[in-house]
Amino acid sequence: MHVRLAKVVGTTVSTAKDPALTGLTLLLCVPCNAAGEPEAGDRFVAADTVGAGVGEVVLVASGSAARVPERTRSAPIDSTVIAIVDSVQTDGKTTYSKVG
């Protein structure tokens, strides 16, 4: 339970759901490394609050942190995309960059 780097790989659609989920986009995510490459690890679903799309590397908060943003405050959600990652610097090098 930490903020994690993840890559958005898809979406899920549900008709029968908790009413507080209405209007929330639920993204399918896979953990990724400092280069933005998918890693071994379970795929999970996270609510979007920053307009993230498939293919983007994002930061995902979990637990009660996932309900801190206004959009998810009353939703039964324990993972939320809190940022789209522009770049990652590791050991002094840029290991991931969105634009290049």
The answer to whether the CB of 50 falls within 8 A of the CB of 73 is no
Asked if 90 interacts with its own copies (CB under 8 A), we say yes
Looking up tokens 């324990």 gives 78
Asked if 37 interacts with its own copies (CB under 8 A), we say no
Among 16, 23, 99, 100, binds its own copies (CB under 8 A): 16
Residue 62 CB burial class (10 angstroms; 0-12, 13-18, ≥19): middle
Per-residue binding string, its own copies, 38-67, x by CB under 8 A, is -x-xxxxxxx-xxxx-x----xxxxxxxxx
CB of 23 to its own copies, least distance (A): 13
